[in-house]
Amino acid sequence: MKKWIISFAIILILCTVRFVDPWFLDVVRLKALDQHQRNQTEQSLANLVTIEINNETLKKKGQWPWNREELSKEIIRLYEAGAGMVVLPILFAQPDRFGGDDTLADVLNQTPTIIGQIPTIQEGNSGVTRGVATVGEPWNGWVYQYPGAIGPIPLLAEKSHGVGMMIIAPEKDGVVRRMPLVVAVEDQLYPSMSMEILRMAAGDISYQMKTSVAGVEKLRIPKFKMIDTDAHGNIWLDFKWKTPVHALHEELPDLTGKIVIVSITASGLDSAVSTPVGVIYSHDLIGASVATMMTGRNITRPYWTNLAELGSSFGLALLLMVVVLLLPWYFGAILMPATVVGLFYGSSYLFTKHDYLVDWSYPVITVFFAWSIAAFLRFMEEHKKRMEIKKQFEHYLAPAMVKKLQKNPDLLKLGGETRELTLLFCDIRGFTPISEQFKTDPQGLTKLINRFLTPMTDIIMTNEGTIDKYMGDCIMAFWNAPLDVIEQRRLAIKSSHEMLKHLEDLNVELKKENSLPINIGIGLNTGDVVVGNMGSNQRFDYSCLGDAVNLAARLEGQSKEYGMKIILGEETAKEMEDEFVILELDKIAVKGKTEGVNIYTSLGTHENLINIMNYDMAQRQHEKFLFFYRKQAWQLALRWLNDLEFEFNGMMRDYYDMMGDRIEQLQKEDLPEDWDGVYRATTK
């Protein structure tokens, strides 16, 4: 009976603590809810973009602040690139010492550009108000109140169509999770920067706010959905929203119809803030708040959450107590982790599907303590009995010396299963001259190969690949066995590019050592193969067999012929264009095959290449070249080929030289009019 009373008392104490809800529990709760934000996949709105003024921008354009005539030119340049609205989260509180205020005022008057103002703890108010319609109870005492505000100089304030409050409101732990949509200075309400952006985007002249006895409930721009807020007019930010970022000093992207946030990210000019997803710049806060409101996905913590959390804590803890104290131990051992997982994923489901922030941490704490105390009390009770009847229980205890369990004999059987794998073959090109360097030092050659193979192996395994075998200087690896790898194609291509990047670093070291550089070719192919333990009864390996394996090896061999570092089979390249720059190379029947297969290459990710080259036009030109080539329009193909020679930063030059030589040869052959365009390889 004693164990029941103590367990129940512990549950009541824990629930009482939750009912009182001291400040440290609020911090724990917020930290737990942060996990849902971190689990989200990053997304971006098509109509939001950030143009940053970074360190390189200042190197090219001079120190900050610029004179306002120069800034005006940059604003005009953004609109000329198609911007629908420009957001300048900058405080223009003092006149321009270079006398450019009139120019900037004209630009603000003629464009839908939003500038900033800030609340202060000092008295004095030069802020710019905005019309607001309030409905319900008085908002005083609920909206964040400041003694004063600093706005732009009168000339800019008068000409600007939008002025928003730049404000950050960290939580108790210094992490920003919410953002005020409205603040009060004296007896007037001022919209936040994100609220002004939404108002300007809708073309409205004001906004609306609804309050009740429990504080602020909603804000609204008439053309958008209601925005649910907490009692102080804050919205919970959805941090999965990120804005594409481009530097102001570089060529601007197409900004047609986009909301452009100008962000100063140069060192010392902008303070990054802590958020659930890490330290980010203020433009990401603005972008997240605008995206949260525009998409209508409004994260909230409803009024019933406290009661639901308290009720689930009490009910589940009571259930665990009964199970642990009455049923065999394994029931509690199963139910406890199941309850923890269920609480987390239940909270995650409510967040993902319904945008509710429901705490899972304190119910987990309550359940864990209740389970631990009940288990401890039951253990102590049973231990006491066990000591009294020790001899009766000795044969139930594990022996002092236990044998190790043998492995499952089924794993030792030969054969395997059919699975779709992505296979990688990587081989060193020109290995003979490299080995000749070490003809008097075979150990040196071994060390060199190990310097090459070790990091390549690490890259493959880090990206969830399985090393099949080493064949001298060749690596064979695959993805999706023995464990499922959902993104097998992407990870295989990603590994290939990382291997090439590491090889560049290794070659820098080899050059310093007066050694020949290492060049490699990589072949990737995806298809159904048989994978499992293969060999003889005396010796076997975990490996794979199938036509897809042979084709991957052949593609690696063709990488030298085509002058490319990476060659992909069609199934590997499929649906990878969103992340990687994929180019079709040819239709080839590899040696030993009669049917042709399309082969491709990957030049890298869009994210990495977009900063060093403009490849969109070149991609279309490349497709035109292949079209003419397959139509036997040799002169047109050669003309397009010449234009492509120096595109893609020269990464395709060897390929184009090879194709030019091939066309010269094909022109001499009597090809049929219905030529299938398949090149018949004569070498492996």
Average pLDDT on 220-231 reads 85
Per-residue pLDDT tens digits for 16-58? 888 887 888 778 888 888 888 888 888 888 889 999 999 999 9
Q: Please give the pLDDT value at position 38.
A: 87
SS (H, E, C) 238-277: CCCECCCEEECCCCCCCCCCCEEEEEECCCCCCCCEEECC
Average pLDDT on 484-510 reads 93
pLDDT band at 540 (very low <50, low <70, confident <90, very high): low
Which residue, 92, 207, 206, is CA-closest to 158? 92
Average pLDDT on 246-256 reads 91
Residue indicated by tokens 């390189």: 56
Q: Is the pLDDT of residue 397 over 50?
A: no
Q: Please give the pLDDT value at position 398.
A: 25
Structure token pair of residue 165: 């409050």
Per-residue pLDDT tens digits for 601-640? 999 999 888 888 888 889 999 999 999 999 999 999 999 8
- Which H or E element spans position 569? strand 566-569
Q: Is the pLDDT of residue 411 over 70?
A: no
What residue type is 75 in one-letter code?
A: I
pLDDT band at 409 (very low <50, low <70, confident <90, very high): very low
Whole-angstrom distance, CA of residue 587 vs CA of residue 600: 9
Mean pLDDT computed over every residue of the chain: 85
Q: Is the pLDDT of residue 560 over 60?
A: yes
- DSSP category for residue 410: G
Among 99-103, 243-247, 364-368, 493-497, the range with the most confident prediction by mean pLDDT is: 493-497
Per-residue pLDDT tens digits for 332-350? 888 888 888 888 898 888 8
Whole-angstrom distance, CA of residue 594 vs CA of residue 452: 35
In b/e form, how buried is each residue of 540-562, taking b as 16+ CB within 10 angstroms?
A: eebbbebebbbbbbbbbbbbbbb
Q: Please give the pLDDT value at position 412.
A: 39
Q: Please give the pLDDT value at position 153.
A: 93
CB distance 236 to 178 below 8 Å:
yes
CB distance 231 to 140 below 8 Å:
no
SS (H, E, C) 520-550: EEEEEEEEEEEEEEEECCCCEEEEEECHHHH
Residues 6+ apart with CB under 8 A from 16: none
Average pLDDT on 411-438 reads 80
- DSSP category for residue 233: S
Q: Please give the pLDDT value at position 406.
A: 33
Q: What proportion of the chain, given as a percentage, has pLDDT over 90?
A: 37
Whole-angstrom distance, CA of residue 335 vs CA of residue 339: 6
pLDDT band at 268 (very low <50, low <70, confident <90, very high): confident
Whole-angstrom distance, CA of residue 269 vs CA of residue 284: 16
pLDDT band at 386 (very low <50, low <70, confident <90, very high): low
Q: Is the pLDDT of residue 307 over 80?
A: yes
Residues 6+ apart with CB under 8 A from 486: none
Average pLDDT on 522-532 reads 93
Hey, which residues does 262 pair with through a beta bridge? 51
Task: Kindly list the distances between the CA atom of residue 596 and the CA atoms of 547, 557, 567, 591, in Å, as whole numbers in the listed order.
Answer: 14, 16, 15, 10
Q: Is the pLDDT of residue 385 over 70?
A: no
Per-residue pLDDT tens digits for 649-682? 889 999 999 999 999 998 988 888 888 888 887 7
Q: Please give the pLDDT value at position 45.
A: 80
Q: Please give the pLDDT value at position 399.
A: 33
SS3 467: strand
Q: Please give the pLDDT value at position 551.
A: 93
Q: Is the pLDDT of residue 100 over 80?
A: yes
Among 79-93, 120-134, 414-428, 529-543, the range with the most confident prediction by mean pLDDT is: 79-93
- Which H or E element spans position 294? helix 282-295
76 exposed, middle or buried (CB, 10 Å; 0-12, 13-18, 19+)?
Answer: middle
> CB count, 10 Å around CB of 518?
19
Average pLDDT on 247-275 reads 88
- DSSP category for residue 21: -
Whole-angstrom distance, CA of residue 125 vs CA of residue 103: 25
Hey, which residues does 595 pair with through a beta bridge? none
Provide the Cα torsion 573, 575, 579, 581; round to 10°.
50
Task: Kindly list the distances between the CA atom of residue 622 and the CA atoms of 314, 381, 580, 639, 663, in Å, as whole numbers in the listed order.
Answer: 66, 79, 16, 11, 15
Q: Is the pLDDT of residue 410 over 70?
A: no
Per-residue pLDDT tens digits for 176-217? 888 999 999 988 999 999 999 988 988 888 889 999 988 998
